[in-house]
Structure 1
Amino acid sequence: MKDNLIYNLGASILTFLLTVFITFWMTPLIITNLGTEAYGFIPLTQQVISILSVLTFALSSVIARFLAISISKGNNRKAEEYFNTYLVSTLFGAIIIIVIIVILITKINKLIDVPEYLLTDVKLAIFFGGTLVIITFINSLFLAGPFAVNKLYITKGIEAINAVTKGAAILLLLTVLSPKIWYINLAAMIAGVISLLLSIFFFKKLIPVIAINFKRFNLNILKELLSSGIWNSIGQIGVILFLSVEIILANIIFGASKAGVYGAMLQLPLLLRTVANITSSVFAPVIIKNYASKNMEALINYCNKSVKLNGLLIALPASLICGFAGSILNIWLGPEFVAHKWLLILSCAYLIITLSPLPLNHIFTAVNKLMFPGLATIMLGVINLILAISLSVYTNLGLYGIVLAGAISLIAKNVIFIPIYSSLVTNQPLRKYFVGLLYPIIGASFVIILSIIIQFYFQVNNFWDLMLAGTIITIGYILFSFFLLFNKEEKSYLLNIYKLFKKKI
């Protein structure tokens, strides 16, 4: 199990670093070629398309769990029924998604503010983005293979290849052809196809006993998957109200130009959220396995360690962005963006605590108690939408109102609801899963203070200055966390993992 944790977590960190590099390189490249206003429609169309994920999430969010449990029990026939039922369902789901994409393409200029010169490009971006949704829907089935056998480093490797392929395709399209915003979604679709082919290959290698056989389609299995995942899908509506409304509201309320500026800066907090989901997923197989074996003590201990470790991993990049916000914007996007540094700081600061508890979400999947999380997410998502409109329209906060609304709502959901509900479904005291939440705040405070001290004596004027300062702080953060934030048991555990890692290399 430790071996797999090393591979899974190591691959997640490498994928994170690669994603950071591509994001830092790609965003100014696109803005330089397309302009800020046009750039704003890249995240905007992606957020519009993400609404389609509601249609797929009911199945894609739970298939890995059912496959993993069936395989762990040696019930290959049941696993094959889950596999083929899901596969047949994706074919019908694809037809529905295609119809919605066509409607979106024909009505998009009535839904959001699109300049006439960008209308065709936006429509093409929606087409390629919608196609990617279908590819991702199918790919979720085959990515369940590495999850089922706890080899998530394979998934992370595929994600890394996806990121590199997407970045290379964007660079090629933007430099060889006349720049268009739909190149981004086209590149993502190409990378998605390659990821799907790789996922199919590894699925066959890891679980050769499962084969495509449409006769294994089982309506009762489909009902089981839907009844389990429907609350995830409802919860996904809430997630969309949390994440996707930000750039859409910015476009509708403040216009395409301001939305372009906001969309550019939003890439960093979105990156942090993506990375948190990647790292938190590493802990899912063990959480599900501990619950399946009814080892509640191990489940609780592992979950608290997961929250602590996930929080400390996210606290470092989030607090570095807060500490060097002005320098990052100046070096990354240009001097004209420095005036918005406090918007970036606020967008990232609250994520330090709100992203830490994400591993606990896998408890709900393990115990199959998804109704209340789904209802809570959609309720708080609606509150977020109302707050965002109220604070940005009826106060002088402007874009800060949208960010502040997200902070209030996400704290309520992740920091309050998730730990408490985790305690309820595992029959534990309500404070049981709050143990790991304090450590990321302490770690982030250390990084921010050190960032301020360094900038007092040292000017960060270019990328290499930023890298040097970041490296110094990262080393200090690792030492600070190891000696002051981890207990003896955790230190011993980490040292054992380090020894195993040295043997592997």
Structure 2
Amino acid sequence: MDKKRLAVNMAAQLLAFAVNMGISFLLAPIIEAKMENTYGFVTLANQFVLYAQIVVSALNTMASRFITIHIHRGEDQTASEYFSSVFFGNVMMAGIFLLPALVIVIFMGSMPFLNVPADVLHDVQLLWAFVFANFFLSIITSVYGISTYATNRLDLTSIRTMYGDIIRIVFLFGTFLIFKPTLWFIGAASLLSTAYTAFWNRRFTRQLLPQVQMKISNFRWKKVWELVSLGAWNSLTRLGQQLLDGVDILLSGALILDGNASMTMLSLAKMVPTAISSLMGTVVGVFNPQITIAYAEDNTENLVKIIKSCNRILIFIMSIPIAFLTAYGRDFYAMWQPTKDADMLQRLSLLAVGVLYVSMSIQVLYHVFIITKKVKWNSLVILGSGVLSSCLSLLLLKTTDLGVMVFPLSSMLTGLLRNLIFTPIYAARCLKIRWNRFYGDILLGWISIGSIVILGNLSRMVFPVDSWIKLILTGVVMGPLALALNFLIILRKEEREMVIGMFKSRLKGAK
């Protein structure tokens, strides 16, 4: 395991993530203050794109796995064929999705399940047009992002992604200051950021993988079918995950009496849990290239070692924001969204983040299913849990007065059940190791979260938080204490060296 490269990649990825999340949390209250009960349409637009990405993922999910393995085995022509097949396949899928995207945008006002108020219809139409355009550009150029993955240089993409986010925020603040704030500025800014990142990913591909040639003559229908036949199971996984995490926004707007208000409340409450999930994906993504490379080299011992290190690094990082949300969430929401019900926002966000109490310790195991090509059962289980979650939501909505809370509650219950019973056992079976090998990591995660929550609640008793200054001061003091606690309790020698290397990389980058 290349600890130095992991440290550099991790530092760059976390920096890019911090910039992106900072922008998101800064914009949400501004948009809600300027255009009350409309922020939910931004989330809903992105959710519609996620449904389309479920189909696209059938071709793209396995692409990095196949291309990386063939490059590291010296099979450049085969890698070129996969690369070209993915690119031109994505172009064809973008063309297929263009017509339904136009229909949705043009006839949005007559679609009752969207329930768009007439006074913001034109603005929402433009927003969705830009969101769809951003989606098309993203899928067409997505294959270029594999170059930094295959060469384990994720830091290059991370830095350019961060610059793209800075371009996005400069554009947004510029337009918001000069013109009347409108929702479609958000979509336009995202498109601009994606174009910048795509340009640099294409350059990185030429620099890092000069042996991989993207040509129409390298396109192979056989390669497309091979990727789709395996990736289709991952599409089912994405569909199940969307039923667990994404359909609630649409249903809350369509089925609850105060639709737009509930949709906006749920969208705001899920921002912190979504940010934590994105952070978790960022950390896991740093390890995925080395996991894939270790598998390509048939090094099972090193593969399991990397997975266990990733689990501990995940706990080291992820337990802190989860515990802080548990302890300080209500105080944060009261200041971040002063016009909203802070208690309700806290309840919704804790339900939304509940599944991470388990999944944060074993999230990397989902990549095990991909590299071993054992995706079928995982996909079926996630799809089944997504269907169960949706059915449970509708049942609770009809039989209880929980209102919008039924959606994150149902998702949490089914997610916990899956991650406690199926995921760790099946991953161990795919790796041909002892069935209960990963349950110790789950227990370790609970110990870490519980310790930090206790520490946070004791702190609140001594130093109540009722202003941004006090919240920031609390974070400045409690954050390092929580890190030190995790550093001593959670990490082993090799992970401690990795974390020290990550901080050294950040310090060098700051000079």
Give the TM-score taking structure 2 as reference length.
0.93
Runs of 5+ unmatched residues, structure 1: none
Is structure 2 residue 448 aligned with structure 1 residue 447? Answer: no
1:116 is matched with: 118
Task: State whether residues 160 and 197 of structure 2, in contact with CA within 8 Å, keep that contact through their aligned partners in structure 1.
Answer: yes
- Mapping of 1:345-384 within 5 angstroms? 345-384=350-389
Q: 2: distance between equivalents of 1:393 and 1:309?
A: 42
> Does the CA-based 8 Å contact 2:396-2:406 persist in structure 1?
yes
Alignment match, 1:209 = 211
Maintained 8 Å contact 2:335/2:467: yes
Aligned residue in 2 for 1:323: 327
Give per-residue Cα distances to partners, 1:338-389, cap 9 Å, x unaligned.
Answer: 2322222332343232233211111111111111121111111111111122
Q: Does residue 1:245 correspond to 2:250, yes or no?
A: no
Q: Which stretch of the first structure deviates more once superposed, 74-83 or 15-24?
A: 15-24
Alpha carbon RMSD of aligned pairs, Å? 2.0
CA contact (8 A) 1:84 1:217 kept: yes
The 4+ residue runs of structure 1 with deviation greater than 6 A are: 496-505
The Cα of 1:14 is off from its aligned counterpart by 1.3
* Alpha-carbon distance in structure 1 between the residues aligned to 2:219 and 2:266: 46
Alignment-derived partner of residue 78 in structure 1: 78
Report what 1:259 is aligned to: 263
Where 1:334 maps in the other structure, the secondary structure is coil
Give the CA deviation at 1:251. Answer: 0.7
8 Å Cα contact 1:71/1:79 also seen in 2: yes
- Structure 2 counterpart of 1:9: 10
After superposition, what is the alpha-carbon deviation per residue over 1:165-218, rounded to whole angstroms, capped at 9, x for unaligned?
Answer: 222222222222222222212211111111111111111111122233111111
Alignment of 1:114-153 (within 5 A): 114-153=116-155
- How many corresponding residue pairs? 504
Name the residue aligned to 1:161: 163
Structure 1 residue 501: deviation in Å? 7.6
Structure 1 residue 491: deviation in Å? Answer: 4.0
Structure 2 residue matching 1:281: 3-state secondary structure = helix
Find the counterpart in structure 2 of residue 395 from structure 1.
400
Change in CA separation of 1:474 and 1:102 when aligned onto 2, cut-off 3 Å: same
User: Structure 2 vs 1, CA of residues 181 and 153 (structure 1 numbering), >3 Å: closer, same or farther?
Assistant: same
2:196 maps to what in 1? Answer: 194
Change beyond 3 A, Cα 1:487–1:265? same
2:103 is the counterpart of 1:103:
yes
Q: Partner of 2:38: helix, strand, or coil?
A: helix
Change (3 A) 1:380 1:485: same
Q: Give the whole-Å Cα distance in 2 for the aligned partners of 1:17 and 1:87.
A: 30
Deviations 1:246-273 (A, max 9, x none): 2111111221122112212221111111
Give the letter aligned to residue 317 of structure 2.
L
Mean Cα displacement is larger for which, 306-315 or 480-489? 480-489
1:499 Cα deviation from its structure 2 partner: 7.0
In the alignment, the residues of structure 1 paired with residue 155 and residue 288 of structure 2 have an alpha-carbon distance, to the nearest angstrom, of 13
- 3-state SS in 1 of match to 2:438: helix
Is this contact kept in 1: 2:11–2:506, CA < 8 A?
Answer: no
Equivalent residue, structure 1, for 2:283: 279
Partner of 2:473: 468
Query: Contact 2:239–2:383 at 8 Å: present in 1 too?
Result: yes
1:307 to 311, 334, 341: 311
Match in the other structure for 1:334: 338
Cα shift at 1:493: 5.7
Cα 1:208–1:421 shift into 2, 3 Å? same
CA contact 2:311–2:364 (8 Å) conserved in 1? yes
Q: 232-241 or 168-177, which moves further after superposition?
A: 168-177
Alignment identity in percent?
22
1:483 paired with 2:488, answer: yes
Counterpart of 1:432 in structure 2 is 437
1:412 maps onto 2:417 in alignment: yes
For 2:340 and 2:32, how far apart are their aligned partners in 1? 13
Q: State the alpha-carbon separation in 1 of the partners of residues 370 and 312 from structure 2.
A: 20
Quote the Cα distance in structure 2 between the aligned partners of 1:493 and 1:265.
Answer: 34
| TM superposition shift of 1:459 | 2.9
- Judged with a 3 Å threshold, the aligned counterparts in structure 2 of structure 1 residues 311 and 387 are, in CA distance, closer, same or farther, namely farther
Q: Which amino acid in 2 is paired with 1:453?
A: L
Displacement of 1:488 in angstroms is 4.7
Preserved contact between residue 49 and residue 126 of structure 1 (Cα < 8 Å): no
Tell me which amino acid in the other structure corresponds to 1:175. L
Secondary structure of the residue that 1:111 maps to in structure 2? coil
Tell which has more relative contact order, 1 or 2 (C-alpha 8 A, sep 6+): 2
CA gap of 1:458–1:426, structure 2 versus 1, over 3 A, is same
**Distance in 1 (alpha carbons) for counterparts of 2:501 and 2:43:** 42
Contact 2:87 2:141 in 1 (8 A): no
Contact 2:315 2:445 in 1 (8 A): yes
SS in 2 for 1:336: coil
Deviation at 1:57, TM superposition (A): 0.5
2:173 is equivalent to residue 171 of structure 1: yes
Q: 1:168 to 1:391 in 2, by over 3 A?
A: farther
CA change 1:62–1:24 in 2 (3 A) is same
**How far off is 1:106 after superposition?**
4.1
Q: How much does 1:439 deviate?
A: 2.1
Q: Residue 432 of structure 2: SS of its match in structure 1?
A: coil
Does residue 51 (structure 1) correspond to residue 51 (structure 2)? The answer is yes
Q: Aligned match of 2:428 in 409, 423, 426?
A: 423
Compute the displacement of 1:107 (Å).
4.5
**1:434-460 Cα shifts (integer Å, max 9, x gaps):** 232122222211222222122212232
What residue is the counterpart of 1:180 in the other structure? 182
The CA deviation at 1:52 is: 0.7
- 1:33 maps to which residue? 34
The answer (yes or no) to whether the contact 1:2–1:497 under 8 Å persists in 2 is: no
